[in-house]
Amino acid sequence: SQQGEEDPQALSIQEGENATMNCSYKTSINNLQWYRQNSGRGLVHLILIRSNEREKHSGRLRVTLDTSKKSSSLLITASRAADTASYFCATDGAAGNKLTFGGGTRVLVKP
C-alpha cells in the first residue's frame, strides 16, 4: 500500500533558519499535500502539489515533487517560533479519495 514516510523525524533549528523535510511514498499518486499539526490539535492544510507539478510556492513554503523518485520536500524559509509543529505529508492515489499520511516531522524552532 502506498505510504508517505517523512525524514527527519525531528528537526530543531533557530528562528530565521530554513527547515527542510522530506517525504517518500511507494505507489502512484494523484496529489501530495502537506499538513501542519500543532501539539494535540487538528490538521491544518498547508499546500497541495499535483502529480504533474514539480514545484509550488505559498508564502514562506516551497514544495517540490519528484514522481520519478516518489519523493517530495517541504521547505520553510525564515522560520519563526510559531512554525513549531509537526508536519505531515499525505498522498491520495488513483481513487483520489482517502489520504495516506506519513509519520510526520516534528519541527522545533527556537527563538
Partner 1 sequence: EPEVTQTPSHQVTQMGQEVILRCVPISNHLYFYWYRQILGQKVEFLVSFYNNEISEKSEIFDDQFSVERPDGSNFTLKIRSTKLEDSAMYFCASRKLREIEAFFGQGTRLTVV
In the beta sheet, which residues pair with residue 56?
63
Provide the minimum distance between the beta carbon of 96 and partner 1 in the complex, in angstroms, as a whole number.
Answer: 7
Q: Which of 30, 37, 59, 39 is nearest to 47 (CA)?
A: 59
Q: CB–CB of 21/73 below 8 Å? A: yes
* Contacts of partner 1 in 74-103 (CB under 8 A): 88, 90, 92, 95-103
Site string for partner 1, 43-72 (x = CB under 8 A): xxx--x------------------------
Q: How many residues bind partner 1 (CB under 8 A)?
A: 24
